[in-house]
Amino acid sequence: MPGEFDLIRRFFMDATADRPDVVLGIGDDCALLQVPGDRLLAISSDTLVSGHHFTADVDPQALGYKALAVNLSDMAAMGAEPAWASLCITLPQADERWLKDFMCGFSELAACFDVQLVGGDTTRGPLSVSIAIQGFTDRQGGLRRDAARVGDRIYVSGTLGDAGLALRVRQGRYVPKGEMCTLDERLDRPQPRVALGRRLGKFSRCAIDISDGLGSDLMHICEQSGVGAMLNLDQLPLSLQVGRYVADTGDWSLPLSAGDDYELAFTLPAELQAEFEREAGSWDVPVTCVGTIEPGEGVRARLPDGRIIEEVTRGYEHFRT
Ligand code: ADP
Ligand code: MG
């Protein structure tokens, strides 16, 4: 079996492009990084553990991609510009083919966002992947969870529930009626909304990425901002497939709480809504107004027939129509 440093040299050292702000990258005791003086450093990390976040037979390329994608999504949700990453990986054995494929997925996405891998750790044990990512926000501090205000409009990017539906179909828990385009890409290769997050700063001070589902992620905004939220379910942006699923089953839990979509939910003052929508009309990711920030607490939702769900985050049976 190749030694640890041999693996580091072959698979990690030149895995990503060189950034000019990396004074010293992989190979020493620490990386040395040039932080821009006029911005704030944004730091985040995420761990994926075998048996919990993925199965041991996971496609390594998809895992490498997704592990970095979920970290980039945190940068997006902060309105931050990603720059550097470190990778702590625990492997049952030094499977070179596996590592090559894993790094292929990782490096592809790193190249898209100009992220350089600057360090990490490599150990033996049950498979797990932990990535830390660093980037920059403006001096105002980007898009925070505690910055929603009563009267703000709530927006989401893209469509909701696609990853959850792909998982249900893959697990055989739902068989679509008739022809249906696969949503596997939405589950395996989420597109971190980094460009969107950075554009939002002009209109919004508050965002979160939708990793657990719109209901519970919006709940974090409500708790930290000391407000409540009302969602209009007939305004939720749904793909054709999820729209059909909801029509078939009456089950709103998929777009509200299935998670793994890595879209952004964000708020902005009502008086900026018209200008925002004019500008956002030309962006490559659609954004949709889905509700309003209200006084009080908790996330409520109005069903298309006008009935109100009082606590969106309180379990699936509440969403059946
Ligand atoms: P130390 O013994 O000081 O922890 P290591 O031998 O673990 O150093 O690592 C040597 C160098 O390789 C360090 O610069 C470390 O950041 C880097 N490195 C180790 N594992 C990884 C990895 N999985 N991805 C990126 N860099 C790594
Ligand atoms: Mg080490």
Q: How far apart are the first and last CA of the chain?
A: 57
Q: Which amino acid is at 12?
A: F
Give the predicted TM-score (pTM) of the model: 0.94
pLDDT value, residue 1: 53
Query: Measured from the CB, is residue 50 less than 6 Å from ligand 1?
Result: no
Q: Which ligand is nearest to the CA of 116?
A: 1
Contact 138, 39 (CB under 8 A): yes
Query: Measured from the CB, is residue 68 less than 6 Å from ligand 1?
Result: no
Query: Measured from the CB, is residue 87 less than 6 Å from ligand 1?
Result: yes
| Distance between CA atoms of residues 309 and 129, nearest Å | 38
Q: Which residue in this structure is represented by tokens 């592990």?
A: 67
Q: Which atom of ligand 1 is nearest to the CA of 119?
A: 16
CA 122 / ligand 2 centre spacing (Å) = 6
CA 31 / ligand 1 centre spacing (Å) = 10
- Best of 4, 22, 26 for a ligand 1 pocket test (most atoms within 8 Å of beta carbon): 26
CA 135 / ligand 1 centre spacing (Å) = 20
CA 81 / ligand 2 centre spacing (Å) = 27
CA 22 / ligand 2 centre spacing (Å) = 19
Contact 242, 165 (CB under 8 A): yes
CA 7 / ligand 2 centre spacing (Å) = 12
Q: Which residue in this structure is represented by tokens 């998809």?
A: 62
* Mean per-residue pLDDT pooled into runs of 10, the chain (321 residues): 82 94 97 96 95 89 96 98 97 94 98 98 95 96 96 98 94 84 90 97 97 95 98 97 94 92 97 98 97 97 94 59 49
Write the DSSP string, 156-199: EES-SSHHHHHHHHHTTS---SS-----HHHHHS----HHHHHH
The helix or strand, by DSSP H or E, that contains position 248, with its residue range, turns out to be helix 240-249
| Distance between CA atoms of residues 230 and 254, nearest Å | 18
Closest CA to 84 of 24, 171, 151, 128: 24
- φ, ψ of residue 131 to 5 degrees: the values are -120, 135
pLDDT value, residue 314: 61
| Token pair of 110 as six digits | 């790193």
DSSP label of 211: S
Look at ligand 1, atom 5, and give the residue with the nearest C-alpha. 121
pLDDT value, residue 318: 43
| Distance between CA atoms of residues 174 and 17, nearest Å | 42
| Token pair of 273 as six digits | 């809504």
DSSP label of 319: G
| Distance between CA atoms of residues 193 and 182, nearest Å | 21
CA 121 / ligand 2 centre spacing (Å) = 5
Query: Measured from the CB, is residue 29 less than 6 Å from ligand 1?
Result: yes
CA atoms within 13 A of residue 211's CA, in its CB half-sphere: 18
| Residues 6 or more apart in contact with residue 316 via CB below 8 angstroms | 251, 253, 257
Query: Measured from the CB, is residue 129 less than 6 Å from ligand 1?
Result: no
Contact 261, 200 (CB under 8 A): no
| Residues 6 or more apart in contact with residue 75 via CB below 8 angstroms | 42, 44, 81, 82, 133, 135, 192, 194, 197
* Length of the chain, in residues: 321
DSSP label of 9: I
| Distance between CA atoms of residues 317 and 157, nearest Å | 26
Look at ligand 1, atom 16, and give the residue with the nearest C-alpha. 119
| Distance between CA atoms of residues 115 and 81, nearest Å | 10
Look at ligand 1, atom 6, and give the residue with the nearest C-alpha. 5
3-state SS, one letter per residue, for 46-99: EEEEECCCECCCCCHHHHHHHHHHHHHHHHHHCCCEEEEEEEEEEECCCCHHHH
Q: Which ligand is nearest to the CA of 26?
A: 1
pLDDT of 261-282, one tens digit each?
Answer: 999 999 999 999 999 999 999 9
| Distance between CA atoms of residues 45 and 272, nearest Å | 33
β-pairing verdict for 228-232 and 298-302 = parallel
